[in-house]
Amino acid sequence: MTDRKVPAETVRPDDLDQQQRVARLEPPERELLDRVAAEECLDLSREADIDRSTMATWGAERSIRAVVLRRLLVENQWQVHPKGVRLRGARISGHLDLESAALRCPLVCQDCFFDSPLPVNLDYATASRVTLLRCNLGGFRGDTAVVTKELDLAESVFRAGAVRLPAADITGQFSLRGAKLTGTDTDGNALVADSLMAGKGVLLDEKFTAAGAVRLHSADITGPLSLRGAKLTGTDTYGNALVADNLKTSGDVFLDEKFTAAGAVRLHSADITGMLSLGGAKLTGTDTDGNALAADRLKTGGSVFLSQGFTAAGTVALTVGRIGGDLSLVNAELSGRSALLASGMHVDHQLCWRPKQPVVGLVDLERASVHRLVDDWSLPFAHWPPAEQLGLTGFMYEGFGGDHPATWEQRRDWIRRSHTIASGGKPARFASQPYQQLACYYRQSGQDREARAIAIARRNDLRKYGDLSSSRMMGSWLLDKTIKHGYQPLRAVGILAAVYLLVFFAAWGAQHHDTAIVPAKDTKNLTHAPTAQHCTADYPCFYPAGYAVDVVIPLLNIHQADNWRINSNASWGWTWTAGTWTATGLGWALSTLAVAGYTGLIRKD
C-alpha cells in the first residue's frame, strides 16, 4: 500500500498513526494490505507447485508477522474485503493467538508455514470461516470455538501436541482430510474433539494420519463421519486409537477402505442414523480389556459391515446393541480370545456369518435376536467356533439363509457346541432354549420330521450335559429307547408286538411240552382231563395266540390266562413263570408309553 501525502492542516492524529503503522510494515505485509482490500489472494510463492519440504527455509521475503495478521482479522485499523484474508506460500512469523477474539472476516491460508512451536490459538473465538489448507503448524486449538461456516485443516501437518477442539461448534463441515497429526498430548491423544458439534460432517480421511488417539467423545455430527483410509498409529494410555463413545451422527460412519488402528476403536452407546462400515479395516491393537472394537449399546439405523477383510486382533464387543440393517462378517478375520461378544444384540435384518478363517475364540450370541441367520456350511462347520466357545442360550431368529444351508444334524451339532461338560469341579452347562428355537423354526417351515429330531436330541443331550440324577437319567434312557420321548409312540407298539410274538412262540412251544401248561381251574369232576395239546368238550381249549394276548396286552382279556397257567413244577417251570411275569410287566409299560406318547403326556416342548 502506497503512502499518500495529506496537507498538514487536514491530517488527523488517527490518520497519522495509521500511516506510521503502515510505514513500519515489511514489504510483504504492505502488499498483503493492498490485496485484502482489493479482494485478492496474496501469493508469495510465485510457484504453481510448492515444495512443502522447504517451507522451514523460507526467509523474510515471504514473512508475515502473526501480530499483523491478528490486527487484520480482529481490529478495524485497515480495510479488509468481506472475502477475508487470503494467503498462499507465506511464512507466518510468531505465535498467532486469536483466543477469545471475534474474527471480522474469513481466514484462508494455503501452503503456509507457521514457524511458532505454539499452536494457532482460537480458544473461545468466533469466526465465520477458517481454512488452513496444506499448511505446516506447530499445532491448533479451538476449545469451545464457534465457526459459523466451516473449519478446513485439510492436508496440513501439525508438528507438536494435540489438535484440540473440545466443545467447538462448527455450523458447516470440519475437515482434517489428508492431515498429519504428528504430536500428542500427555495422555497420548492426537485429536481432542469431545462434545464437538459439526453441522455438515467431519472428514478425517484420505491419508489422514494421527500419531495418537482421536477423541470424538459425545460429538454431535449432522452428516457423515469419515475416517476412510485413515491411519491411527498411536494410542492413548488405555490402548484406544479412536474414542467416540456417545457419538451422535445423522449420517453414515466410515472406518473402512484400509482404515488402520493400532489400538481399540470405541463406540460405546454411539447413535448412528446411517450405517457403520468397517469393511477392510485393520484393528491391529487392543485396549487394556482386550477389545479391538468396543461398541456396546451401539445403535444404528443402517447396516454394520465388519467384512471384506476386516481384521480384529481382539474382541469385537456389540452387546445390547441395536442394528437397523444387516450385521455382516463376510471374510472377516476374528482372532481374539473372545472373538465376538454380541449378547443382547438385536439385528433387524440378517446376521451374515462367513469369517475368512475358522474362529477359535468365544462367540457369544446369548439373548441376541436377528431376523435371519445366514451362514455357509460349505465351509468346515461354517467356521463357527469349537465346543464350549459358542453361546446360543436365548438366541432368537426367524429363519436361515445362504447358498449352502445346514442339515438338521449340522444344526444339532451347532447347538451342542454351546454346552459344556462338567470337569474339575466345574458344573456342566446345558440350555433347552436353543433346541426349542430350532424345532420351532422347523415346525413353522413345515419340516415336521426335522422338528421331531431336534426335540428328541434335546432330551438325549440333557442326559449328557445336564445335571440329572441317576434315576432321571435311567428314565430318560428308557423313554429314548422305547418311544423317543413321546415323539415316536409307534415304537412302543412295535416293541409290544415283538414281545407278543415272543410270548406266542414260547406258549406254542410250551403247548407241545408235557405238563408245561396246565388248566388253571379244578378239573377233578370232568370226564376227560384236558391238556394244552388236546381239547375236550367240557373245558376251553388252549390257544397260544390268545394266551399271548392275555399275558402281553393288559387292555384285552380273552380269558386264556383265566383257564390255563404255567406249571411251575414242570421242567424249567419257574423260568416260564418268570418270563410270563416279565412279559406282563413289559406289556403294561409299553402300552402305557404308547398311550402317553399318542396323547402327548410325555412331550413337553
- Greater confidence (426 vs 418) lies with 418
- Looking at residue 593, what is its pLDDT? 67
Query: Would residue 15 count as lying in a domain?
Result: no
> 248-289 pLDDT, tens per residue?
999 999 999 999 999 999 999 999 999 999 999 999 999 999
Domain count, the chain: 1
Give how far Cα 499 sits from Cα of 328, 393, 479, 492, 590, Å. Answer: 57, 42, 17, 10, 10
Query: Would residue 162 count as lying in a domain?
Result: no
Query: Do 303 and 275 touch, CB atoms closer than 8 A?
Result: yes
- Looking at residue 518, what is its pLDDT? 81
Query: Do 391 and 366 touch, CB atoms closer than 8 A?
Result: yes
- Ordered DSSP codes for 420-463: B--BTTBPPB--SHHHHHHHHHHHHTT-HHHHHHHHHHHHHHHH
Query: Would residue 302 count as lying in a domain?
Result: no
Beta bridge partners of 87: 42, 109
Q: How far apart are CA 32 and CA 140, in angstroms?
A: 23
Query: Do 316 and 340 touch, CB atoms closer than 8 A?
Result: yes
Query: Would residue 501 count as lying in a domain?
Result: yes
Query: Would residue 535 count as lying in a domain?
Result: yes
> 107-166 pLDDT, tens per residue?
999 999 999 999 999 999 999 999 999 999 999 999 999 999 999 999 999 999 999 999
Question: What predicted TM-score, i.e. pTM, was given to this entire model?
Answer: 0.82
Query: Would residue 100 count as lying in a domain?
Result: no
Query: Would residue 503 count as lying in a domain?
Result: yes
Question: Which range, 192-201, 480-489, 509-518, is most confident?
Answer: 192-201
CA-wise closest residue to 73 among 23, 128, 115: 128
Q: Which residues of 243-279 are buried (b: 16+ CB within 10 A; e: fewer)?
A: bbbbbbbebbbbbbbebbbbbbbbbbbbbbbbbbbbb
5 pLDDT band, cuts 50/70/90, is: very low
Query: Would residue 91 count as lying in a domain?
Result: no
Helix axes 573-599, 490-511, angle to 10 degrees: 160
> 323-340 pLDDT, tens per residue?
999 999 999 999 999 999
* Mean pLDDT score, 298-320: 97
Residues in contact with 302: Cβ distance below 8 Å, sequence separation at least 6, in sequence order: 252, 272, 273, 274, 275, 276, 324, 325
- Looking at residue 12, what is its pLDDT? 47
> 199-239 pLDDT, tens per residue?
999 999 999 999 999 999 999 999 999 999 999 999 999 99
* Mean pLDDT score, 71-83: 90
Backbone phi, psi, residue 179, to 5°: -75, 160
Least confident of 27-36, 325-334, 429-438, 475-484: 475-484
Secondary structure class of 140 (helix, strand, coil): strand
3 pLDDT band, cuts 50/70/90, is: very low
Measured from the Cβ of residue 138, the count of other Cβ atoms closer than 10 Å reads: 18
Q: How far apart are CA 204 and CA 255, in angstroms?
A: 10
Residue ranges making up the domain that contains 538: 490-599
